[in-house]
Structure 1
Amino acid sequence: MPDGAVRPGQPLPPPSGWLDPLAAVRTPDDPYCDVYLTGTVFLDIIFTGLDAAPVRGTESWARGMGSSPGGVANMATALARLGLRTSLAAAFGDDMYGDYCRDALELGEGIDLSMSHTVPGWHSPVTVSMAYEGERTMVSHGHEAPPKDPALEGGRECPPPARACVAALEPGEDQEWIARAAERGSRVFGDVGWDDTGRWDLASLAGLERCEAFLPNAEEAMRYTRTDCPRAAARRLADRVPLAVVTMGADGAYAVDARTGETAEVPAIEVAALDTTGAGDVFVAGFVMGTLAGWPLADRLACAGLTAALSVQEFGGSLSAPGWVEVAAWYQHVKSYHDQDPAALRRYGFLDTLLPGCARPWPLRRAVPTIGFRSS
C-alpha cells in the first residue's frame, strides 16, 4: 500500500479541500466513508481550442491539451474536492497510465482506493476528447477488466458502509452491489448515460427501484418518459423514484420531490464553456453533497449548478471539478459587483454561512497537467 494511503476500516482523512460540508451532521458512529462508487477509470487526453470538428484527410492543431483520470474518476474527484470522504472501487492497469491515474486519485485527491485492484497485463482504457463549439467528441479504446478475485477483499465488505453511493445505471445490466448498499443503509443516487439500445425503457434500469434520487439530463429524461418537456419528464419520473432531478443545460435544472410534493427550479449561470467534459458528474456530486448535508432542495440545485458551471470553464473532466476555494472566489467576485440581481444573490445566500473569506483573485488559474514531467 503506498505511503499515505488509507487502510481499510480507518476513517478517511479530510480530502484536499479546506472545508467539511458535513461537519455539522457527523457523529462518532458514522461509516468511514461518505460516498462509495465503482466503475471504469480511463486515462483522458483532452484537446481544446479547436475551431471546428476535425476533417477527414487533414491535420488539426489544438491550442490546448491536458491529461487526467477520467470515466468514474470524474465523479470521484468532484465528490472529494467538495469535501466528501470518497471510496472508489475500480480496476487499474499495471502500465504507466494506470500508475498515473492511481497516484492522481489516491495521493492527489485523497480518494480511498482500498477497494480497487491492479490487473497484471491489462492496459488502461484511454479516451481522447476533442472540445469545440461548446461540445465534445470522444474516441475511446479499452477492454473489459477481468472480475476481481474475491480473495483480494480480505474479508472486507464490498460495497463498504457509506452514507451514500452513486450508481451509474445501465440498461439491462444487473448491478447486485446496489441492492446490498441500500440494504446497509446507503442512500443511492442514480446516474445514467445514453441508451445505445434505443429502447429507453425505465424497466431495464436495474437498481432504479433502490434509488433515492435519479438525475438524468433533459434528453435522457424525455426519452425515458416519452414526454416532450423536461419538467413533465421530471414529474413522470417522480412516480418511480422519491426524488427526480433533470438537468437542462443552459436552462438550469428542475427537481420534483415525490415524498413532499415540493418542486424547485434554478436557472443556469451564464458562462463561456471551454469544455463540458464531466459537467454532469460535477452536478451530481454537488447535489449529493447538499443532500447529505441536509440542505433545502433549491439550495442543492443551486450548488450543483454552480459547481457544474465552474467546471466547464476549465478543460478536462476530473481536472475541472471545483473545490471550495473556487466556489468561494466566485462568490466573492459576484458580490463585488453593485449591479448584481438581488434575487440572484439571494439564490446563493446559503454560501454566506458556509464559506470563510477568500482573498484569492478571480479568475483562478489551475496547473496545466501532463504525463511524464520528471521531478527535479
Structure 2
Amino acid sequence: MEVPTPPAGTGGPADPAGATAPVLDPLAHVRSEADPATDVYLTGTVFLDIIFTGLDSAPVRGTESWARGMGSSPGGIANMATALARLGLRTSLAAAFGDDKYGEYCWEALEQGEGIDLTPSRVVPGWHSPVTVSMAYEGERTMVSHGHEAPPPEEPAPECPPPARACVALLEPGRPQEWIERAARRGSRVFADVGWDESGRWDPADLAVLERCEAFLPNAEEAMRYTRTDCPRAAARALADKVPLAVVTMGERGAYAVDGRTGETAEVPAITVEALDPTGAGDVFVAGFVTGALAGWPLADRLAFAGLTAALSVQEFGGSLSAPGWVEIAAWWQHVRSFDDQSPATLRRYAFLDGVLPAAARPWPLRRALPTLGFRRA
C-alpha cells in the first residue's frame, strides 16, 4: 500500500519539516527585530509514553486486562513543548535523549514533526530512554514509569537558558534549579509548574524560587497542600503572596486565578467533553495560558483559552500528540456556534476567539499517537 505524499511544504508524514509551519503566529502583533529567536525555553525529562485507553476499570491483581485502545508518543516535558509549538510559539527544549529506538523516535517527532529547537538537547550514548505506561479509565489515569537519571554531559552544553521571551519551569521539591534565576535576570518571564511531592513534606520553602517567577500554575491538590488550606480559591489567594500571578486548576470545576499585583481575580468553568485520555492535559493548560500571556490577553481570556486547549487535548490519545493546534481550536469554535442549544454564557466567554482564529485550514493533519512506532513505509 502506497502512502500518499502531500505537496512539498505542506507537512505530514512524508514532509515532517513542512509540518512544523504554524497556521497562526499569536505573537505577530508584538514581535520586533530586537526580540530573541526563542519564545519559550523549557527543560526536563522526555519519556516514551505508552497509553492504554478503553479500560472499564483499574487492572486487578492476578488478572489480565485488555485495552480497547493504545497509543505511543513522546511524553514528560515533551507534552508541554509540543503544545507550545502547536500554538505557534518558537519553542526550545533542553533534554537528554537515549540513543535507543525510543530516543530516536522522540527526537524525530519533536524536532522534525513539531519544529521544536533541540539545540540545547543531547543524545546520551548507552543510556536508555525513560518510559511511562499510562492506563486511562473512569476519567483518570494510572501511570507506571521507569528510567534512570541521565549522566552529566561530557562537553560544555550550549548556552542554557538561551535568551527567550519566557521560560516554563517544573519545580522539583528539594532540587534547586539555578537556571531559573539566570533566566529571570535576563528578562525572561518565568511560568512555574510543580510535580507531586513524593516525600509528602509539601514544604513551602521549596517554593522560594517563586519570587523570580511571574506565574505559578499548580493543580488544586498541590496548591492546598503547599498552603495548608482546604479550598482551591483560598490556596490561590495565599500563593498570590509569593508570586505575582497564582493560577489553580480545579479539574472539572475549571480554574481560578489571582493577580497579586492588582487584586484581580478570574474564574472560568471547565468545558465538558468526553475524555479519551487525560494524560498531559495539565501541560497543555499551561501552554495555552503562556500563549495568552505572551500575546497580552486579559486574565480571564488566558484562563478560558488554557481550559479550552486542555479540554480538546483529552479527546485524543497521548500527552504530547494530543495537543490541539489553531485549526482544531477554530473547528471547535465553529461547531459550538452552529448549535442553538449552546449556553449563551459559553458563547460570550469565547467570543474573543473571533479576533484571533485563522481563516485558513491546515493542508495536512497533525500527527497523533499510533499504537506502535517504526512502521516501514512502502
Same fold (TM over 0.5): yes
Distance across 1 between alignment mates of 2:368 and 2:186: 40
Gaps of 5+ in 2: 1-8, 10-16
| 1:314 equivalent in alignment to 2:316 | yes
Q: Which of 169, 172, 180 is the aligned partner of 1:170?
A: 172
Residue in 1 that maps onto 2:86: 81
SS in 2 for 1:277: coil
SS in 2 for 1:29: coil
Q: Give the paired residue count.
A: 360
| 1:337 equivalent in alignment to 2:342 | no
* TM-score of the pair, normalised by structure 2: 0.92
Q: Which of 173, 178, 201 is the aligned partner of 1:199?
A: 201
Say whether the 8 Å CA contact 1:14–1:83 is kept in structure 2.
no
| 1:265 equivalent in alignment to 2:270 | no
Q: Which of 263, 283, 287 is the aligned partner of 2:285?
A: 283
Return the letter of the residue paired with 2:114: E
Go from structure 1 to structure 2 and tell me whether the alpha carbon gap of 1:117 and 1:277 turns closer, same or farther (over 3 Å shift).
Answer: same
Distance across 2 between alignment mates of 1:53 and 1:182: 43
| 1:228 equivalent in alignment to 2:230 | yes
Distance across 1 between alignment mates of 2:77 and 2:321: 13
Runs ≥4 residues deviating over 6 A: none
Distance across 1 between alignment mates of 2:114 and 2:36: 20
Return the letter of the residue paired with 1:70: G
Shift, 1:346, TM fit = 1.1
Shift, 1:341, TM fit = 2.0
Residue in 2 that maps onto 1:7: none
Distance across 1 between alignment mates of 2:367 and 2:177: 37
Shift, 1:148, TM fit = 2.0
Return the letter of the residue paired with 1:250: E
After superposition, where does 1:98-117 map in structure 2 within 5 Å?
98-117=103-122
Shift, 1:122, TM fit = 0.3
Go from structure 1 to structure 2 and tell me whether the alpha carbon gap of 1:23 and 1:219 turns closer, same or farther (over 3 Å shift).
Answer: same
Residue in 1 that maps onto 2:154: 149
Distance across 1 between alignment mates of 2:367 and 2:116: 20
SS in 1 for 2:304: helix
Go from structure 1 to structure 2 and tell me whether the alpha carbon gap of 1:218 and 1:339 turns closer, same or farther (over 3 Å shift).
Answer: same
| 1:136 equivalent in alignment to 2:138 | no
* TM-score of the pair, normalised by structure 1: 0.92
Residue in 2 that maps onto 1:21: 26
Residue in 1 that maps onto 2:299: 297
Deviations 1:251-286 (A, max 9, x none): 000000011110000000011111110000000000
Return the letter of the residue paired with 1:64: G
Shift, 1:367, TM fit = 4.6
Distance across 1 between alignment mates of 2:64 and 2:89: 43
Return the letter of the residue paired with 2:40: V
Return the letter of the residue paired with 1:134: G
Return the letter of the residue paired with 1:284: V
Return the letter of the residue paired with 1:23: A
Distance across 2 between alignment mates of 1:337 and 1:140: 42
Return the letter of the residue paired with 1:199: R
Go from structure 1 to structure 2 and tell me whether the alpha carbon gap of 1:313 and 1:353 turns closer, same or farther (over 3 Å shift).
Answer: same
Go from structure 1 to structure 2 and tell me whether the alpha carbon gap of 1:358 and 1:272 turns closer, same or farther (over 3 Å shift).
Answer: farther
Shift, 1:368, TM fit = 4.9
Distance across 1 between alignment mates of 2:211 and 2:191: 11
Gaps of 5+ in 1: 5-11
Go from structure 1 to structure 2 and tell me whether the alpha carbon gap of 1:365 and 1:69 turns closer, same or farther (over 3 Å shift).
Answer: closer
Go from structure 1 to structure 2 and tell me whether the alpha carbon gap of 1:229 and 1:52 turns closer, same or farther (over 3 Å shift).
Answer: same
Deviates most, 52-61 or 19-28: 52-61
Deviations 1:105-135 (A, max 9, x none): 0000000000000101000001111111111
Identity of aligned residues (%): 80
Shift, 1:193, TM fit = 1.2
| 1:371 equivalent in alignment to 2:373 | yes
Residue in 2 that maps onto 1:189: 191
Distance across 2 between alignment mates of 1:374 and 1:13: 20
Q: Which of 30, 48, 54 is the aligned partner of 1:49?
A: 54
Say whether the 8 Å CA contact 1:172–1:206 is kept in structure 2.
no
Distance across 2 between alignment mates of 1:255 and 1:276: 22
Go from structure 1 to structure 2 and tell me whether the alpha carbon gap of 1:28 and 1:358 turns closer, same or farther (over 3 Å shift).
Answer: closer
Go from structure 1 to structure 2 and tell me whether the alpha carbon gap of 1:75 and 1:366 turns closer, same or farther (over 3 Å shift).
Answer: closer
